[in-house]
Amino acid sequence: MRRILISACLLAGVLGTNYTVHAQSKLGNVLGNLSQDQIGKGLKEALDKGIQEQVSQLAKPDGFFKNEMVKIMLPEELQKVDKTLRSMGMGSVADQGLQLLNRAAEDAVKEATPIFVQAIKELTFNDAKNILLGGQSSATTYLKEKTSKQLAGKFAPVIEESLSQVGATKVWEGIFTKYNSLPLVSPVDPNLTNYVTEKTMDGVFTMIAVEENKIRGNEDNSRSTTLLKDVFGKQDNTANTSSNSTSTKKNTKDNTKKTETSTEKKKSILDLFGK
């Protein structure tokens, strides 16, 4: 039993060492001759670009309302309200209520930039390394983990005030009153502030992810600076090398299989003729 335990420990150590060596090798391939400072600055620049290019757009009038990717629709329990109002010829009332929800989100997003800037400042080399070696939305995930709690705290009061200022609260109270007065319906009174806050955060991270994917894929020449080209170009080279290696292995395996199949067929034909 003791020998088995010792063997298991040794095997685990060997596997762990191999994994570490592989990870370090991958890291070396990606980072190449880039310094820690360059990598950190490159990732910070990418995050900052995502904020400037996308989040700032959401803060403009109709930034949410006319962007189908993030447009805030009615919560499920209010969809029946919308349907009922439209069936009664009050579609304009429903449209107005929906637009005002998106206006509140557009107002709240303005509070996001300082929070994101602070999160970017706190980016460590390990964070940058994990983002660079991670998946397509690793940078977005980093920001989400670092800022979600703060964003919710900042967004909620702004959204509540905005809903009141733009008249959304009054409009929706009127909608609820009209709907709840109808016969044979279940009364509704949802918390719109919480709902809009959640959807605003979803919209922000959705658009940051869009910009991140553009930079990683260099869509529309999104790597607009030398630093972005250097840092993310290393990732491209590694991905291409890995892809070529996989393709070579697959071709070798396929050719070997074809040779074996051909040999087997030849053998079966010889057997058929007794040779």
Q: How far is CA 259 from the centre of its chain?
A: 45
| Residue percentage of the chain with pLDDT more than 70 | 69
Task: Please tell me the predicted confidence (pLDDT) of residue 257.
Answer: 57
- At 219-266, the pLDDT tens digits run 766 676 777 777 777 666 555 544 444 444 555 555 555 555 555 544
Q: Check residue 59 and give its pLDDT.
A: 93
Instruction: Tell me whether residue 84 is in a domain.
Output: yes
**pTM exceeding the 0.75 threshold for the entire prediction:** no
pLDDT of residue 196: 92
Query: What is the residue whose two structure tokens read 């069936």?
Result: 87
pLDDT score recorded for residue 259:
52
- Across the chain, what does the average pLDDT equal? 74
DSSP label at 134?
Answer: S
Query: Domain for residue 264, yes or no?
Result: no
Query: Does residue 261 lie in a domain region?
Result: no
Query: Per this entry, what is the length of the chain?
Result: 275
| d(C-alpha 192, C-alpha 214), whole Å | 33
Does the residue 7 lie in any domain?
no
Q: What is the CB neighbour count within 10 angstroms for residue 131? A: 23
Domain coverage including residue 225: 36-232
Query: How large is the C-alpha radius of gyration of the chain?
Result: 28
Environment class of 211 (CB within 10 Å of its CB; exposed 0-12, middle 13-18, buried 19+): buried
Q: How far apart are CA 179 and CA 201, in angstroms?
A: 29
What's the domain count of the chain? 1
pLDDT bucket at 16, cuts 50 / 70 / 90: very low
In a domain, 258, yes or no: no
CA distance 175 to 185: 13
Confidence bin at 147 (pLDDT 50/70/90): very high
In a domain, 103, yes or no: yes
Q: Which residue has the tokens 């592989």?
A: 22
**Region 149-153 average pLDDT:** 94
- Asked whether residue 174 is assigned to any structural domain, the reply reads yes
Let me know if residue 205 belongs to a domain: yes
| pLDDT tens-digit readout, 183-223 | 767 776 667 888 899 999 999 999 999 988 888 777 766 67
Please check the confidence at residue 274 and state whether its pLDDT lies above 60: no
Whole-angstrom Cα distance, residue 275 to residue 272? 8
